[in-house]
């Protein structure tokens, strides 16, 4: 563990430029100048499969372009964002609402250790400080402050993700929102942000277009990369599998709906889904639900 003071050269530049930066940061892991190209991904702890998949996918694609992912290591969207960054072989920074000697929630202990080895764990609190009602909202200014922009994935009007988004606006950061199901309460936060002028995000091109001047990454690079991946993936599926794949998404789809939409028999669909699962294109969830593997 080390302490970075505001006047130190290693203190994160993005964070130093907000109006109320921490006087000191406790750090495990490593910061580098490359971490100035950082984007935060935040959202609800009680996320849907759609939200978790989106957070993980966006994180994985962004780190492939050399962008660091920042989040708060909470359950749900935060953890998915960190995991996606690590799976993509990139770097991630976790900002805690506790001291570094207190892993909260305890379920994220393994994730905590992985992030230390492939990024940084940071807090403005003393090492043995535990969680309180005010520490988590206050740490959100650090999450947005470390980042050039914040992506909100699922959350209600009064969620911590919305606090982070509002802090990001105060700090002059870009705010992005991933739309969701209009009947879900978890979509209320992102949809409200979009109504207020936040950038609606469908893919990472939407992010790169807004931040190209600071990231120095042309949006066309990511677009070509994604198109190439899609083409390679499609070539690995049979014609029948492609028909089923087109009916699936990052939200769970019941097997009965697949049968109705494709016209295949239930036995045909079961066989094709099993083949696609072995090829790691899809994932089966409880209740005969299927989802595109993120």
- Per-residue pLDDT 10s for the chain (294 aa) are 999 999 999 999 999 999 999 999 999 999 899 999 999 999 999 998 889 989 999 999 999 999 999 999 999 999 999 999 999 999 999 999 999 999 999 999 999 999 999 999 999 999 999 999 899 999 999 999 999 999 999 999 889 999 999 999 999 999 999 999 888 999 999 999 999 999 999 988 899 988 988 887 765 555 555 444 444 456 788 889 989 998 988 778 999 999 999 999 999 999 999 999 988 889 888 889 998 886
Contact 14, 147 (CB under 8 A): yes
The pLDDT, as a whole number, for residue 280 is 85
The whole-angstrom separation of Cα 71 and Cα 156 is 18
* Residues 111 and 253 reside in one and the same domain: no
Is 26 among the domain residues? yes
* Residues 25 and 139 reside in one and the same domain: yes
CATH code of the domain in which 253 resides: 1.10.10.10
Which two tokens mark 199? 């950038």
- Per DSSP, the residues of 272-290 read HHHHHHHTTSEEEETTTEE
Name the strands in the sheet holding 174-178, side by side, starting at the edge strand that comes first in the sequence.
Answer: 2-5, 24-29, 119-123, 92-95, 68-71, 38-43, 149-153, 174-178, 199-200
CATH code of the domain in which 118 resides: 3.40.50.450
* Residues 113 and 257 reside in one and the same domain: no
The pLDDT, as a whole number, for residue 127 is 96
Which two tokens mark 290? 């299927």
Domain count, the chain: 2
Is 52 among the domain residues? yes
The alpha carbons of the chain give a radius of gyration, in whole angstroms, of 20
Supply the DSSP symbol for 19. S
Is 226 among the domain residues? no
Q: Strand, coil or helix: what is 189? A: helix
How would you class 207 by CB atoms within 10 Å of its CB: exposed for 0-12, middle for 13-18, buried for 19 or more? buried
Q: Strand, coil or helix: what is 221? A: helix
The whole-angstrom separation of Cα 183 and Cα 191 is 11
Residue 225's φ and ψ, nearest 5 degrees, are: -65, -45
The pLDDT, as a whole number, for residue 76 is 96
* Residues 132 and 259 reside in one and the same domain: no
Q: How many CB atoms lie within 10 A of CB 177?
A: 26
Is 227 among the domain residues? no
Its domain, for residue 42, covers: 2-220
Alpha-carbon distances of 280 from 18, 134, 145, 242, 271, rounded to whole Å: 43, 42, 37, 14, 14
The pLDDT, as a whole number, for residue 228 is 46
* Residues 259 and 161 reside in one and the same domain: no
* 220, 243, 275 - which closes a domain: 220
Is 256 among the domain residues? yes
Supply the DSSP symbol for 44. -
* 196, 220, 244 - which closes a domain: 220
Sort strands 199-200 and 2-5 into parallel, antiparallel or unpaired: unpaired
The whole-angstrom separation of Cα 91 and Cα 146 is 13
* Residues 204 and 61 reside in one and the same domain: yes
Which two tokens mark 243? 């028909």
* Residues 190 and 47 reside in one and the same domain: yes
* Residues 270 and 143 reside in one and the same domain: no
Is 55 among the domain residues? yes
The whole-angstrom separation of Cα 152 and Cα 71 is 11
* Residues 256 and 145 reside in one and the same domain: no
**Bridge partner residues of 253 (DSSP):** 290
* Residues 41 and 94 reside in one and the same domain: yes
CA-angle at 47, arms to 15 and 113, nearest 5°: 55
Which two tokens mark 121? 């764990």
* Residues 113 and 242 reside in one and the same domain: no
Is 93 among the domain residues? yes
* 192, 220, 248 - which closes a domain: 220
The pLDDT, as a whole number, for residue 229 is 47
Q: How many CB atoms lie within 10 A of CB 214?
A: 12
pTM of full prediction above 0.75: yes
The whole-angstrom separation of Cα 115 and Cα 117 is 5
Is 70 among the domain residues? yes
* Residues 211 and 249 reside in one and the same domain: no
């Amino acid at each position: 563990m080390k302490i970075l003071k505001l006047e130190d050269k290693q203190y994160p530049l993005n964070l130093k430029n907000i109006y109320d930066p921490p006087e000191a940061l406790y750090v495990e892991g490593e910061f580098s100048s490359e971490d100035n190209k950082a984007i935060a991904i935040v959202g609800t702890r009680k996320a849907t499969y759609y939200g978790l998949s989106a957070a993980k996918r966006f994180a994985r694609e962004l780190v492939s372009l050399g962008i660091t992912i920042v989040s708060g290591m909470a359950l749900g969207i935060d953890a998915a964002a960190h995991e996606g960054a690590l799976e993509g072989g990139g770097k991630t920074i976790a900002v805690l609402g506790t001291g570094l000697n207190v892993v909260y929630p305890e379920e994220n202990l393994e994730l905590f250790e992985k992030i230390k080895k492939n990024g940084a764990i940071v807090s403005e609190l003393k090492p043995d400080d535990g969680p309180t009602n005010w520490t988590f909202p206050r740490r959100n200014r650090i999450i947005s402050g470390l980042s050039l922009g914040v992506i909100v994935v699922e959350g209600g009007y009064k969620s911590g993700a919305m606090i982070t988004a509002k802090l990001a606006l105060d700090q002059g950061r870009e705010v992005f929102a991933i739309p969701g199901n209009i009947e879900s309460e978890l979509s209320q936060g992102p949809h409200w942000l979009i109504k207020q002028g936040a950038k609606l995000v469908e893919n990472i091109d939407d992010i790169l277009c807004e931040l190209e001047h600071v990231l120095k990454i042309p949006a066309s690079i990511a677009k070509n990369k994604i198109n190439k991946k899609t083409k390679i993936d499609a070539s690995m599926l049979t014609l029948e599998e492609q028909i089923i794949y087109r009916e699936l998404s990052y939200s769970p789809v019941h097997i009965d709906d697949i049968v109705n939409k494709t016209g295949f028999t239930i036995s045909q669909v079961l066989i094709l889904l099993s083949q696609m699962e072995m090829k790691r294109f899809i994932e089966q969830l409880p209740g005969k639900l299927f989802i595109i593997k993120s």
